[in-house]
Structure 1
Amino acid sequence: MSAQATPPSSLQPVDEDAEQLARLGYTYDKQFKREMSFWGNVSLGFTYLSPVVGVYTLFATSLGLAGPPMLWSFLIVGVGQLLVALVFGEIVSNYPVSGGIYPWARRLWGRKWGWMTGWAYLTALLVTIASVAYGAGAFLGALIGLEMSPDSIILCALGLIAVAAAVNFAGTKVLSAVAMLGLIAELGGALVVGVLLLLTARQHDLSVLFQHFGTGDGGNYFAAFAAAGLIGIFQYYGFEACGDVAEEVPNPGRTIPRAMRLTIYIGGFAAMFVCLSLILAVPDFAAVISGQDPDPVASVLTGAFGVAGYKLVLAVVMISFVSCVMSLQAAASRLSYSLARDKMLPGSTWLARFDEKRHVPPVSLAVAAIVPAAVVLVSRLQENALIYIVSFAAMGIYIGFQMVVLAALRARLKGWQPAGRYRLGVWGLPVTVGALVWGILGITNMAWPRTPESPWYENYMVLLSSIVVLGIGLLYMVWKKPYIHSDAPAADAILSQSSALRADSVR
């Protein structure tokens, strides 16, 4: 898709979505197919958010750090991220363009801000794909009854990445359908498992949700709760993926803001319900806190359902992992394509190629599989390499979020008045300020050093990795000046508003 605002032929029928895209500066020579339904869009965001993957992966750590009250982090983070989703909904309604966060930042602030936002978010997405795929190894090993070695975990991760890529290469319609199946399997499995645990394996009443069972490291329970709250912080992103595929959704100005909110509602409810059912079924909190029970999820599920039932649950978990990687790849490929068609990336000519038959960007999709696979393979060369690399994953996504929120706040203070089909109205400014404050708190929590006994570089790994990634992006921007290579619209949110005000004054 070219970044030239040339109108289509008058002989060619054009729908409102295509006309809006043309007004935003993109022509019809290469166009995604709008085959993703509302529920397909929700499913994409939900499977990216993946409550089962998040809860099952971090449950033991969070419960060991803060005890049962760690459940409340889901509620706290959910409210904060809902504010971000509301801001994003208003922005995507104005700019329903593939790639989401990058074009939003570009239109709200400018080319340089757009580049840095896109760089941070794309890097984080590619690394997140690798970390989720790698994390599936332990669950696959438990499912097939094998103790996974580093090599077998790597093979599992590579296989999962390949399967997800195959789904994405099949096109938007297949992606939407598989995402829907992933939502049904994950949500249905989570609800069934949760209900059965509450009915047959419950060990405690709700009062335990207000008891920390001695956690808190010498009485500093707030610090323990903040550390345990990372389970919530790592949970609530994925809703932005609904906007990454904006050119593949009919009526995106209305559909996507709704899908983003619903992703938060459904995903948050599912995560809290799964976590609650597990907490109330844990027989011995002291064993988890002390480390005697290092895998309370396995202990609870095996005790409640037996080995066969536990493996059935693990099968659903593996579906969740595949769906999550698939959705992450879709988001990363659309972002890469969006940057490339604006000539912002090395190899943009290749990355911006478009498959007219399947209506997908094949080279960008391949990059969304090859780069994560390379990250996984690096772990074979150095034992801690993958840990260092993925330290940036969640932080980078949150940084990308807040760069967009900050751009929206700046634009609003300079006179931008959103004109999309979804608007926050008088709530726009307070919601945007609240989203920014929340994001800064979340980023601070992720970067906060918590292992003083470790070497300094490990204690500050999240912060250091963020500085390195952002530094590389900044150096490339100064060196190659990718922002000057395209005449695609930028910083026009405020300019268009100023033009409208001048026109009104003339009239």
Structure 2
Amino acid sequence: MATTPAPTAEQPMDDDARRLAELGYKQELRRRWSGFSNFAISFSIISILAGCFTTFGQAWNNGGPVAVSWGWPLISMFILIIGFCLAELVSAYPTAGGIYWWAATMGRPVHGWFTGWLNLIGLVAVTASVDYGCATFLNLTLSALLDGWAGTGHQTFGLFVVILALHGLINIYGHHVIDVLQNVSVWWHVAGAAVVVLILVLVPDDHQSFRFVFTERFNNSGFGDGDTGGLTFWFYVLPLGFLLTQYTITGFDACAHVSEETRGASRAAAQGLWRSIFYSAVGGWILLLAFLFAATDVDAINDAGGFSGAIFSTALTPFFFKTVIIISTLGQFFCGMSCVTSMSRMAYAFSRDRAVPGWRLWSKVNRNGTPVNAIIGATLAGLLLTLPALYQRGGIPVAFYAVVSVAVIGLYLSFIIPIYLRLRMGDRFVPGPWTLGRRYRLLGWIAVVEIAIIAVYFVLPIVPAGVPGNADFSWTAVNYAPLAIGGVLLGVAIWWYASARRWFTGPRRTIEESSSDAPS
């Protein structure tokens, strides 16, 4: 694939570089991605081979089959509406800063400040959770393939560190092939998911009934004494199960973060964003229904804490069991690679506007147009966020679900701010070539309400032992999502009022300034 070098004084700017210059930025990143590659990165980050496999247990324990068969399409429709709202914004403002750039431009610097930090927290968390999930499945794969491999929690964490490092190295040294790998990832997810569905349909001797798949309810959460019909189930337990969908279909803002590297970004990034959601929603639902129909040994799945691997190990022969988990593990590896790409671009763009401590370091790009320091720093942040997983001792993986919750809350709260500001602007908003037209108001308010609701649910305790004051309370069972997000937000709020509000003016025009006049 041919690359498009950054424009120079001798080389006139193309339409993309000209639009970027109008938004205030020089073309520093290499614009070599096609529209399909832009779509591919979000489709890969959403990754139905990752989220559907790693967070299936959250829905199984909190609602059971109905949380999957009905919850997935319901929540997917709300997420698609959110995607439509963001697609309109990326069409108007195709910059690597994406979410926070929109907030600062449509609102004030303070809006951009908090949006940027929420988005960065979410991207770090989604990268960490995907790579930890990949490590979990790699551990399972090695246990199935190698005699003597114990598959312990500490081995999972060690594999997580290795995978995170590999993704960093691929993003640093694989700049010539990273967009090609994104394209390969799409086809791996499509073909891989199709193979898994066929295996689950054709190989098991028995399948569950339609009645089980579409009406059965479970409550293995520990809340409400296992009741599946009271208010606690419908308004607390079941919504917690929706974390499966809300987490899996996230990270689609990657289309915005790589828009400065995409040709025809004003249209291609917008289309890539909503299409990645739509196709993932359809493919993910088919895949999850195949899981449920193959889930004939309910007791074994319950004993495994709802872990999807128990479905495959009980329903399939050893050969097909290994085939399924290998397909998923490789899909998750591709997903984590894409997550590091998106996360590093956001870290680079936010640092470019001097909002991150040590911004001079993180905003540098090498001669290949790769933000190497941002890649290294952001992957290390993901490692730190996941350290509590070292202290997990069996049962429901609360530490993993806490990182998942941080990802969902951080990302979706960062979405709500520019969507609300777009609503506030009304007709003053100047759309790009892809626009919602007059539908923006209805869709925007639906998006705002849905995000506000999930932001409350996913900071709540996941298990009774995580409730302060409970007789069985344990810090290892605490959903630390509110602590992680609240702690960072408290720190950046103090920083804002103590210092940043005097010098952070939002997006800075690099097209006409040098870094020599930057504040300290």
Report the TM-score, using the length of structure 1 for normalisation: 0.87
Task: Give SS of 1:392's match.
Answer: helix
Task: Give SS of 1:27's match.
Answer: coil
- Matched with 1:409 is 423
| Alignment partners' CA distance in 1, 2:82 and 2:404 | 23
1:44 correspondence with 2:41: yes
Give the partner amino acid of 1:321.
Q
Which of 200, 215, 220 is the equivalent residue of 1:211?
215
- Matched with 2:356 is 345
- Matched with 2:384 is 374
Q: Is the 8 A contact 2:60 2:241 kept in 1?
A: yes
1:177-234 Cα deviation digits (max 9, x unpaired): 1122222122211111112322343513323233225646252241332122111111
Identity of aligned pairs, percent?
A: 24
| Alignment partners' CA distance in 2, 1:89 and 1:454 | 38
- Matched with 2:484 is 465
Larger CA deviation: 204-213 vs 253-262: 204-213
Evaluate the alpha carbon distance shift between residue 175 and residue 482 of structure 1 in structure 2; reply closer, same or farther with a 3 A threshold: farther
- Matched with 1:246 is 259
Q: Is the 8 A contact 1:165 1:366 kept in 2?
A: yes
Q: Which runs of 5 or more residues in structure 2 are unaligned?
A: 1-6, 144-148, 220-225, 469-474, 510-520
Give the partner amino acid of 2:12.
P
- Matched with 2:272 is 259
Give the partner amino acid of 1:331.
S
Which of 144, 161, 170 is the equivalent residue of 1:167?
170
Task: Give SS of 1:52's match.
Answer: coil
Evaluate the alpha carbon distance shift between residue 449 and residue 302 of structure 1 in structure 2; reply closer, same or farther with a 3 A threshold: closer
Which of 197, 201, 204 is the equivalent residue of 1:198?
201
Evaluate the alpha carbon distance shift between residue 419 and residue 154 of structure 1 in structure 2; reply closer, same or farther with a 3 A threshold: same
Aligned length: 476
Displacement, 1:388? 5.9
Task: Give SS of 1:447's match.
Answer: coil
- Matched with 1:439 is 451
Larger CA deviation: 135-144 vs 268-277: 135-144
- Matched with 1:397 is 411
Displacement, 1:249? 0.3
Which of 278, 288, 307 is the equivalent residue of 1:275?
288
Give the partner amino acid of 1:133.
D
| Alignment partners' CA distance in 2, 1:319 and 1:129 | 15
Q: Is the 8 A contact 1:344 1:483 kept in 2?
A: no
- Matched with 1:15 is 14
1:472-501 Cα deviation digits (max 9, x unpaired): 2211212231672557469xxxxxxxxxxx
Displacement, 1:280? 0.6
| Alignment partners' CA distance in 1, 2:124 and 2:332 | 15
RMSD: 2.6
1:120-164 Cα deviation digits (max 9, x unpaired): 111222233223222223211221122223332222111111211
- Matched with 2:517 is none
- Matched with 1:137 is 135
1:404-446 Cα deviation digits (max 9, x unpaired): 222222222xx42333111111111111111111211222221
Give the partner amino acid of 1:32.
L
Task: Give SS of 2:26's match.
Answer: coil
- Matched with 2:154 is 151
Which of 422, 432, 451 is the equivalent residue of 1:420?
432
1:259-304 Cα deviation digits (max 9, x unpaired): 111101111122111110010111133554xx33545633432345
Task: Give SS of 2:273's match.
Answer: helix
1:25 correspondence with 2:24: yes
- Matched with 2:92 is 94
| Alignment partners' CA distance in 1, 2:399 and 2:313 | 33
Q: Is the 8 A contact 2:62 2:238 kept in 1?
A: yes
| Alignment partners' CA distance in 2, 1:263 and 1:313 | 23
Q: Is the 8 A contact 2:217 2:228 kept in 1?
A: no
Task: Give SS of 2:317's match.
Answer: helix
Displacement, 1:460? 6.5
| Alignment partners' CA distance in 2, 1:46 and 1:173 | 20
| Alignment partners' CA distance in 2, 1:154 and 1:208 | 36
| Alignment partners' CA distance in 1, 2:404 and 2:93 | 30
Task: Give SS of 2:13's match.
Answer: coil
Give the partner amino acid of 2:313.
T
Give the partner amino acid of 1:67.
G
Task: Give SS of 1:418's match.
Answer: coil
Task: Give SS of 2:303's match.
Answer: coil
Q: Is the 8 A contact 1:137 1:148 kept in 2?
A: no
Give the partner amino acid of 2:428.
W
| Alignment partners' CA distance in 2, 1:439 and 1:385 | 23
| Alignment partners' CA distance in 2, 1:200 and 1:450 | 34
Larger CA deviation: 400-409 vs 377-386: 377-386
Q: Is the 8 A contact 2:63 2:241 kept in 1?
A: yes
1:233 correspondence with 2:231: no
Displacement, 1:371? 2.0
| Alignment partners' CA distance in 2, 1:368 and 1:482 | 24
Give the partner amino acid of 1:102.
Y
Q: Is the 8 A contact 1:111 1:483 kept in 2?
A: no
Alignment of 1:245-324 (within 5 A): 245-285=258-298, 288=301, 291-294=302-305, 297-324=308-335
Give the partner amino acid of 1:472.
G
- Matched with 1:494 is none
- Matched with 2:66 is 69
